[in-house]
Structure 1
Amino acid sequence: MSAASTADTSHTLTNLNWPIAAAMIQYPNLLPDGSSVQDHSAERWAETVADVSGAGFTEIDPYDSWIRLADLTPERRREFLAVLKAHGLTIPAISTARRSIIDPERGAEFLEYSHRLLDVAAEVGAKHVSFGLFGPLTEAQKKVNWFWTVDGVKNPDDPATYKRAVEGYRELGKHAESVGLDIGLEMYEDTYIGTADGAVKMVRDIDHPAVGINPDIGNLVRLHRPVERWQSMVEKTMPYVKYWHAKNYFRDEVEAEGFVATSPAPLELGIISYRVAVKQAIAHGFRGAFCVEHYGGDGLSVAATNREYLRRILPKSVGPA
């Protein structure tokens, strides 16, 4: 299985037109005034969208932690798309957050939602959807500054549950292929996709050309525990990349003393060399979109610097895989 996307890559990609989307992770769905972004007027949507276009982005991943496009009526989706168009933005991909298809209580609901999201993603012109097996934040995680410093929900060591994940994503892969999309499974700690070996195994077990990896290894190098070296994770996962959440972290580690400290970093300054990783991914046929993320501070502005860094290191021109 190669990284080549099932989406149309017949045109020539350059460092200037490669789709690099703004992540909406710094914008919550529920606001302090108690209102939900779902119910906002087009004018209020435009206030937030103006931030994104003002930061120089031409693409946006709306993230369903900010707005659930699949739960808007067709009329309201058209309103949302009109707002994006007015600000010069398109949607190359949509990412889900904490809607695991093996959630012990809501798994069936989230599988149905995932199917609806695929149809909506195709409707709005996206080419990729990112799914993950990570659960909701625990109360302990909500109380700390960086949620990843506290253990969260873990996927069970249970063959039947693993099989359900494989079969569910294969089902979603067939749906995605039928509407011209592909799927990236997001790497996230303590899930079946929580290591490079685990992510590759799951994609191979799913065995569908529309399903690959979202190699968000930033989710792993930020952990305050021993993790596989980023170079090894890159080598294992780059042949399977479909869509890519790109972020980076500083990581200080003294293995002999069991000491680890991490903090968010701009893409070009953290421990992961994206120059190395991107070059390997493209060599393996990756032609999908990027999404630039950053936690803390003015995350949108740091994401914009991450976008410009990617444009500097991407090839001047690359043809279809």
Structure 2
Amino acid sequence: MSAPWTAETWPIAAAMIPFPGMLPDGSLVQDAPAETWAATLAEVAAAGFDAVDPTDSWLRIADLDKARRAEFLDICRDLRLGIPAISTSRRSVIDPAHGADHLAYGHRVIDTAAELGVGHVSFGFFGPLTPAQQRATWFWTEQGPRNPDDPATYRLAVERICDLARHAEGCGVTIALEMYEDTYLGTARDAVRFVTEVDHPAVRLNIDIGNLIRLHRPVEPWAEMIRLCLPFAGYWHVKNYYRMEDSATGQVMTHPAPLLGGTINWRAAINAALDLGFDSPFLVEHYGGDGLGVCAQNRDYIRTILAGRRSRHDQTV
């Protein structure tokens, strides 16, 4: 980072999860004409965003040929949308059937990030949605794939992330590993253990604790997760959920919420990160409803936190 970001310039990217990767006619966004991409990205820009993460559940820019990638970049430039990071989704490098292919894809993502001057990429160990998850109103209410409780597979996960890390370091790219249930990053302590075992300067944690708070099961308190993981924080996916627990029956219910209104106190979490020198971009996410509109509100909320931080500093100097 050449100069400290301000509340106005801190990169806060829109996630593309509100937009499906398949068009109404059954064709893929990946294969769509550039005009289709432009129409979607124009919505992002109209919502007030100046940054976008081309999340690969929507479009795999690392798998576009040179000409198509140039078309994508021209659209972003025309709309004044920067790309601070690239996130991958459900392409685990230890997938039992496709792990080697996903590893090769991960290297292409790093190469693409380096080519475009993108400083951050996000990887995770979560697998594709099961049929039950695809049918559910909220996919996290159904059990998804689990990483195996197997030392050999765990070691393979460490080795493959180290392989990506060596590549990323040589390209000036930082990897963020996304926290997600039932993976080797499925609790705060598991995530800290894994990133410590990788022990590489190019690897940080994507402390996406919303993925865990939304589960209909007991989870660690959000503040404890933040406390344990912040020393390793990198590119950060942020979202919130209402979490309701019935202590008499043990029943848990959750629902997507704006950052300002859910269970996680994001003002406290972000301020704690800044106290430790956090200096990576944010990605705002939301499921359901007008996801893009809520993401825009979340972006503005983060900027008020950052501005308050600046104001507090000004009063003490």
Match for residue 71 of structure 1? 63
Higher mean Cα deviation, 211-220 or 309-318?
A: 309-318
User: Does 2:33 correspond to 1:41?
Assistant: yes
**TM-score normalised by structure 1 residue count:** 0.95
Task: State the aligned residue count.
Answer: 310
Counterpart residue type for residue 110 of structure 2? L
Counterpart residue type for residue 34 of structure 1? G
1:245 Cα deviation (Å)? Answer: 0.4
1:111 Cα deviation (Å)? Answer: 0.3
Counterpart residue type for residue 88 of structure 1? R
- Cα distance in 1, alignment partners of residues 295 and 17 from structure 2: 11
User: Does 2:276 correspond to 1:284?
Assistant: yes
Match for residue 310 of structure 2? 316
- Cα distance in 2, alignment partners of residues 91 and 125 from structure 1: 9
Of all paired residues, the percent bearing the same amino acid is 57
- Cα distance in 1, alignment partners of residues 132 and 36 from structure 2: 32
Higher mean Cα deviation, 286-295 or 39-48?
A: 39-48
- Cα distance in 1, alignment partners of residues 117 and 177 from structure 2: 20
Aligned partner of residue 310 in structure 2, secondary structure: coil
Match for residue 146 of structure 1? 138
1:140 Cα deviation (Å)? Answer: 0.6
Counterpart residue type for residue 310 of structure 2? K
In 2, are the aligned partners of 1:248 and 1:266 still within 8 Å (CA)?
yes
More relative contact order in 1 or in 2 (CA 8 Å, sep 6+)? 1
Aligned partner of residue 110 in structure 1, secondary structure: helix
Root mean square deviation of aligned Cα: 1.0
Counterpart residue type for residue 316 of structure 1? R
Match for residue 134 of structure 1? 126
Counterpart residue type for residue 142 of structure 1? Q
- Cα distance in 1, alignment partners of residues 50 and 140 from structure 2: 30
Match for residue 3 of structure 1? none
1:255 Cα deviation (Å)? Answer: 2.9
Match for residue 237 of structure 1? 229
Match for residue 6 of structure 1? none
Aligned partner of residue 227 in structure 2, secondary structure: helix
Counterpart residue type for residue 164 of structure 1? L
- Cα distance in 1, alignment partners of residues 279 and 4 from structure 2: 10
1:38 Cα deviation (Å)? Answer: 1.3
- Cα distance in 2, alignment partners of residues 39 and 138 from structure 1: 25
- The 5-angstrom pairing of residues 266-305 of structure 1 reads 266-305=258-297
- Cα distance in 2, alignment partners of residues 140 and 187 from structure 1: 22
Residue from 144, 151, 154 that aligns with 1:159: 151
In 2, are the aligned partners of 1:239 and 1:285 still within 8 Å (CA)?
no
Aligned partner of residue 48 in structure 1, secondary structure: helix
Counterpart residue type for residue 128 of structure 1? H
Aligned partner of residue 243 in structure 2, secondary structure: strand
User: Does 2:19 correspond to 1:16?
Assistant: no
Higher mean Cα deviation, 10-19 or 291-300?
A: 10-19
User: Does 2:100 correspond to 1:108?
Assistant: yes
User: Does 2:182 correspond to 1:193?
Assistant: no
Counterpart residue type for residue 111 of structure 1? L
Structure 1 stretches lacking a partner, 5+ long: 1-8
Aligned partner of residue 126 in structure 1, secondary structure: coil
**TM-score normalised by structure 2 residue count:** 0.96
In 2, are the aligned partners of 1:29 and 1:37 still within 8 Å (CA)?
yes
Structure 1 segments (4+ residues) deviating >6 Å = none
- Cα distance in 1, alignment partners of residues 21 and 184 from structure 2: 27
Counterpart residue type for residue 287 of structure 2? Y
1:45-99 CA deviation, whole Å, 9 max, x = no partner? 1100100000000000010000001110011101100001111101000000000
Counterpart residue type for residue 240 of structure 2? N
- Cα distance in 1, alignment partners of residues 196 and 277 from structure 2: 17
Counterpart residue type for residue 220 of structure 1? L
Aligned partner of residue 251 in structure 1, secondary structure: strand
- Cα distance in 1, alignment partners of residues 15 and 38 from structure 2: 16
